[in-house]
Amino acid sequence: MKFKIGKGEIKAYIVINGAKKFEKYAFEGKDGEVLFLPERKKIYVGIEKINAENLKTATASIIKALKKYKFESVEITPPNIKDKDLLIAFFEGFLLGDYEFDKYKSKKAKHPVKEICINSKRKFDEITKEAEIRAENINFIRDIINSMPDEITPAKLAAIAEEVALKNNLECKIYDENYLYENGYYAFYSVGKASKNPPRLIHLSYKPENSKRKIVLIGKGLCYDSGGLSLKPADYMVTMKSDKSGAATVLGIIKAASELKLDIEIHAILGAAENMIGSNAYKPDDVLKAKNGKTIEVRNTDAEGRLVLADCLCYAEENIKDFDKIFDFATLTGACVVGLGEYTAGIMGFNKNQIEEILKTSEKTGEHFAYLPFNKYLSKLLKSNIADICNIASSRYGGALTAGLFLSEFVQNKEKWTHFDIAGPAYVEKEWGYNPHGASGFAFDTVISYLKSF
């Protein structure tokens, strides 16, 4: 799908704040509500309030509605707004709405609309280019997450990362299970050792000249999570291909940053593993030593993502000098979904100013985050009688927070660190807003906009 100046077969209209003249059609103009009049070659979509989320939902809804027809072009007049970020969201929605994951279907999805024709004298080339880069990378993330675990193994994820590095002139280092074991990353190594598909630590670097900042992004890449010996119930095992969402997200972010030519040095670290059962699986009651020397009592092998991330955090602090910020992204806890629902991610850390900046950015991009504050009592729940720390808390309550606090034990400068628990919105088994069934690419837009703001 391409953007161009000109006229199209169908005219699309954004209807803001109600639709009194459409009463006979029972069209109320609610967010994302569509009225299509094919005989008039007109399509209308409602918006209750102009913001990024609603604009993306509106334009995505137009494309979704037209998939049942054979029209190849849509003409639309962009809203009369000057905010560049809102206009990017407006155009981005068309491409996000056109996404369907049909890799494993014999009957492929239809994508009849080939052109979005812009009816305006304004120039939008720069805006549409960025919208295309953003949407293409979100869909790239979606594809990785949606792909089945037998296809996206740790080695395959590493191969995808190498391909991204080659095409985008990034540095890429891939470390195997032998490296993890020989160099003391025993927490990460232990999680993946029972699988026939051994783990990989993937390190991508984007280093533009005269960069303003140095940022580290770490992603949980559990290509599949059976729960290990603390085996998940069958129903909870379905959708665990989504446990690689954090890794896919940071891969998409560094790819987009290079394509947008951001003047920020970025390091993306992907912890890729499969948490499986077997005679050599790590066990409840094991004591693992992370790279920083801290010992971890394992009381539940289904709290594995934090073990992978712990060593990835250690790797970053040992191998990347003088970074300004370090963020980790993970579908880490069901507790976060219970607390915030499927459409909101949790954000945690010790630097309140940094978190507030990210929250303000998320409001502009239309993604929902909620700040979850630590307190002095929670850390006591991770106390172990036989090791330095336990991999799960002694209380069933506050699981998202105690998981975040666990990770903080592997960060030296805690003011630089922020934790994103994206377990809810990263993968939802129904359409919502401008997102399809399955993977959403959540957090990408917020982080890219945040990096651009430096």
Q: Please confirm, yes or no, whether 289 is among the known catalytic residues.
A: no
CB neighbourhood size of 347 (10 A): 24
- Rounded to 5°, angle at Cα 437 from 434 and 442: 55
The Cα 271–Cα 310 span in angstroms is: 10
Q: Please confirm, yes or no, whether 306 is among the known catalytic residues.
A: yes
The Cα 243–Cα 241 span in angstroms is: 5
The Cα 2–Cα 47 span in angstroms is: 24
379 secondary structure, DSSP code = G
Candidate list 56, 156, 306, 364, residue with the active-site label: 306
Candidate list 67, 129, 214, 232, residue with the active-site label: 232
69: left (phi over 0), alpha (psi -120 to 50) or beta: beta
Tokens read off for 172: 């890429």
Output helix, strand, coil percentages for the chain, rounded to the nearest 5.
Answer: 40, 20, 40
Half-sphere exposure in the Cβ direction for 66 (13 Å, CA): 32
Burial code of 38-54, b = ≥16 C-beta within 10 A, e = fewer? eeeeebbbbbbebbbbb
Active site residues: 232, 306
